[in-house]
Amino acid sequence: MSRAILQVMIRGRVQGVGYRAWVEYQATASGLEGWVRNRRDGSVEALFAGAPTHVADMVALCRHGPPSARVDSVTSETASADELNLRGVGEKFSVLPTA
């Protein structure tokens, strides 16, 4: 089975609205591995790893976010397994500290 790893940047009103918790819930429910974190510039950054269709579906969900969010843009690029290692030891999906 093939595996995709994408790093995603989400911009808009995405901090202070439960966006990270929403991403963690959605990604875990989809069986994805990875992490999510706030950025000091007000954006949210995430990394998703798993079946290509599940990763693509998650990126599509990020374009809408939770009800209180306003997503202005979502960009993604291919990432490596090295970036996946930022998650917590023993965790499938992590919420990381702000970067």
Hey, which residues are catalytic here?
Answer: 20, 38
Which sign, positive or negative, has the C-alpha torsion 96, 68, 41, 10?
A: positive
Phi, psi at 29, each rounded to 5°: -65, -30
Question: Where are the alpha helices (H) located in the chain, listed in sequence order?
Answer: 19-29, 52-62, 81-84
